A and B are shown apart, each in its own frame.
Chain A
Amino acid sequence: MAETTGIVQKLNVIPGAAVACIWIGPTPTNTELLFIAYQAGDPASSTAYQSSLVDALAAAVVTRREVVATHDATSARITSLRIDPA
């Protein structure tokens, strides 16, 4: 697993595709693009979890809080998220 740490610079939610794109980095032009996505077969609990992730990231955008997003080393799909004490 890998961690990407930084400020959430931009968040894009596409409900019809069940995808959210998240740009994380130190500046608006120095970011990594990660995503949260529904995968076929995910149970309802997973989609609720994914929705919760998007909500947390949206909160981080406006509070300027740094997040630590965990994803597979070869994938940009966020699997877990941490927001440390301010």
Chain B
Amino acid sequence: MANTVGLVQQITWVDPIVCVGVGPSVPLATWLFVRFGAGDTDAELAFKKAAVAVLVRAQAAGYPVDVEHAAGGAEIEGVTFGEFDISPVGLAVHDDFYAVTGSAIPANAELVFETAALSVTVTPDLVRPHWVFVAQLPSAVPVGRNLVRLEAAGGWQSDSVPIDVVSGPAAVVRVLYPGAPKPDPYGIGFVANPGIVTEAGSFTADPLLTNRAGFHDTIGFCLRTLLTLTEDCLRQGDWDQEMRFVALFDSTLIANDANCLTSELLNSDTMQPRKENVGPFLLRYGVTADVALVIHGSTTHTRAWTWASVDDPARPGTAYVYDGVPRVHGHYSQTPGSAALWVDMDRTVITPLHESFHGAADFNNGRVVDLYNDVMQGNFMVNKKARAQAVNPIPAVFANYNGTAFQSDQNRDGLGYLPGWTSYHPALIDATRPNVMDNYKLIGADSVNCRLDGLTYAFLSDRLRVKLTR
């Protein structure tokens, strides 16, 4: 067998043969052919027709092909195409999200879009070893055929992939990263909130629907916060390469009961997600998520709130033991975790990470709660316990999780437990800064270095692991 690799330069149909020129130019092409024979079976004819169709697609797209044929012969026996070391995700649309995937991508990689006349370099909003993400594709990238590649200082460079750039419209549903190629990869969804239930109980349009640029910028911020900060719970072992990230922005929706995904909390500045609405809303668009971040544009209720997901008890789970009590990490959600996040939230602190950890926990079987208050109400909490009285000493051991004893945080890092508090927390991974679930805002921009406590890290890691491998 021999292989001829190159661009499809010319295709000629002369009954019963299709001739294909493969190479750098027509004069230098190697000429190969597909023959539709009278003795061919229906299946052979169908797949020969398919092979020709592939060659036509490759020619139109400017993709190289790898054509297999007998050594010394020209009859085509196999055609392969699509082989690049990077993969653009979806259409390239001005002002829409844009992503390119690959492997071992350097952290300083940039996107280069090239036409015969112009080269445009775009600095991504997020770079992971397997994923480069741009929140809005700049209109400086020329419309029409481009070659896109990744480049990094030091000479690293990917293959160039032909793409067609269009000026619009931006997609309603956009896959930002496809996730593991299997049924039900762990999903994180970003949703533009169509409507708000006001404190008075009426439905009102969310101003976010006229602020698409703000939505995009917020998602860029959220992704950087989830996947690039010191706390690595979500990205450890590059787990995020198995997660699916999807964004949904539908500006055509009216504010009604089904479309309002947030509600104003009475007598507060807090916006709550309407947790029962979020999953069914996403499903209308064919989107499923384990955690959904609902972005809203309220100017009065800007404080975030998150509901933990509710695991589906009717589907498989993995057992764990907490302080001798058998419990279960459910593999699937019945109700996704949902957070309501303000589009103009403070970009210097780690709110999306904090809220995502609330959402990734389980409402019934292990909540990960706020540590900046002394509230002890509600279902089982993984990361908070209370003494009988505030004057009682904090136990040395906080909890035993799956056979490991996790110590208590005797000092609440540098913040200290407030007088009168009975609650106490597990020991931190990094005791020099507040817990991600505590009052991280007190240290401002340094909150990017906050960590979880060891127990919550182990608990959430186990939950993620069983969901990623479901």
Q: Which of B244-282 contact A (CB under 8 A)?
A: 244
Question: A66 → chain B, closest Cβ, in Å?
Answer: 5
CB-contacts of A9-62 with B (<8 A):
9-20, 23-32, 38, 42, 44, 47-48, 50-51, 54-55, 58-59, 61-62
Also in contact, A62 and B63, with CB within 8 A (given A18-B47, A30-B180, A55-B53) = yes
List the A residue with the shortest CB-CB distance to B48: A15
Residue of B nearest to A12 (CB): B80
Neighbouring B residues of A16 by C-beta, 8 Å: 44, 47, 77
**CB distance B81 to A10 under 8 Å?**
yes
Asked whether any CB of chain B lies closer than 8 Å to the CB of A65, the reply is yes
Please tell me which one of the listed residues A11, A19, A48 contacts residue B82 in the complex, with CB atoms under 8 A apart: A11
B44: which of A18, A59, A63 is its contact (CB, 8 Å)?
A18
User: From A13, which residue of chain B is reached at the shortest CB distance?
Assistant: B51
Establish whether residues B50 and A12, one from each chain, have CB atoms under 8 Å apart when the complex forms.
no
B181 and A26 within 8 A (CB): yes
Return the chain A residue nearest B40 by Cβ: A15
Which of B86-94, B413-421, B451-459 makes up part of the contact surface?
B86-94
Q: How far is the CB of B372 from chain A (nearest CB, A)?
A: 37
Q: Are A66 and B178 in contact (CB under 8 A)?
A: yes
Question: Are the C-beta atoms of A11 and B171 separated by less than 8 Å?
Answer: no
- Complex alpha-carbon distance, A15 and B241, angstroms: 34
B47 to chain A, nearest CB (A): 4
Smallest CB separation, A57 vs chain B (Å)? 9
- B235: min CB distance to chain A, Å: 15
From B46, B53, B175, contact of A48 by CB (8 A): B46
Q: What are the interface flags for B42-74 relative to A under an 8 Å C-beta threshold, 1 for contact and 0 otherwise?
A: 111111111101100110110100001000000
- CB interface residues, B 282-308, toward A, < 8 Å: 286
In the assembled complex, the CB of A71 is this many whole angstroms from the nearest CB of chain B, namely 10
Contact of A54 (CB < 8 Å), options: B50, B78, B103, B182:
B50
A32 in contact with B181 (CB, 8 Å): yes
The answer to whether A28 touches B49 (Cβ under 8 A) is: no
Count of B interface residues, CB-CB < 8 Å:
58
Instruction: Known A2-B183, A86-B171; judge A8-B42 contact (CB<8 A).
Output: no
- CA distance in complex: A12, B51 (Å): 9
Question: Is A5 interfacial (CB-CB < 8 Å)?
Answer: yes
Interface of B is mostly: mixed
Contact A62 B61 (CB under 8 A): yes
Interface residues of B in 80-107 (CB under 8 A from A): 80-91, 101-103
B173 CB contact (under 8 Å) in A2, A5, A62, A85: A85
Residue of B nearest to A23 (CB): B82
Shortest CB-to-CB span from B181 to chain A, Å, is 4
CA distance A64 to B263 in the complex (A): 37
Determine if A26 and B286 form an interchain contact, defined as CB atoms under 8 angstroms apart. no
- A13 & B89 in contact (Cβ 8 Å cutoff): no
Docked complex Cα distance between A25 and B79 (Å) = 20
Are the C-beta atoms of A28 and B47 separated by less than 8 Å? no
Q: When chains A and B are docked, how far (Å) is the Cα of A48 from the Cα of B58? A: 21
Task: Specify the chain A residue showing the minimal Cβ separation from B77.
Answer: A16
Contact check: which of B58, B81, B87, B162 meets A7 at CB < 8 Å?
A: B87
CA of A9 to CA of B163, assembled, Å? 14
- Are B50's CB and A86's CB within 8 A? no
Complex Cα distance A19/B79, Å? 11
Chain B residues near A38 (CB-CB < 8 A) = 43, 46-47
Instruction: Please give, as numbers and ranges, the residues of chain B lying within 8 Å of A30 by CB-CB distance.
Output: 103, 130, 180-181, 241
Contact with A along B149-191 (1 / 0, CB 8 A): 0000000000000110000000111010111111101000000
The chain B residue sitting closest to A73, CB to CB, is B183
Q: Are B91 and A28 in contact (CB under 8 A)?
A: no
Report which of A13, A28, A48, A65 forms a contact with B79, defined as CB distance below 8 A.
Answer: A13
Q: Which of A2, A28, A47, A62 contacts B46 (CB 8 A)?
A: A47
Residues B43 and A47 in contact, CB atoms below 8 Å apart:
yes
Nearest to B41 among chain A residues (CB) is A18
Give A42 to B42 CA distance when docked, in angstroms: 9
With A6-B181, A26-B180, A47-B42 as given contacts, are A66 and B90 in contact (CB-CB < 8 Å)? yes
Please pick, from A13, A24, A51, A63, the residue contacting B91 in the complex, using a CB distance under 8 A: A63
Instruction: Name the A residues within 8 Å of B53 (CB-CB).
Output: 51, 54-55, 58
Given contacts A27-B103, A32-B181, 13 further A-B contacts (CB under 8 A): A15-B48, A25-B180, A26-B241, A27-B87, A27-B102, A30-B103, A30-B130, A47-B46, A51-B53, A58-B81, A61-B82, A63-B91, A64-B91
Q: Tell me the A residues contacting B by CB distance below 8 Å.
A: 2-20, 23-32, 38, 42, 44, 47-48, 50-51, 54-55, 58-59, 61-66, 84-86
Residues of B within 8 A of A (CB): 34, 41-51, 53-54, 57-58, 60-61, 63, 68, 76-91, 101-103, 130-131, 162-163, 171-173, 175, 177-183, 185, 241, 244, 286
5 contacts between A and B (CB under 8 A): A10-B81, A28-B87, A55-B50, A58-B50, A62-B60
Q: Which 10 A-B pairs have the closest CB atoms?
A: A38-B43, A62-B61, A47-B46, A54-B50, A18-B43, A25-B181, A51-B46, A26-B178, A32-B181, A15-B47
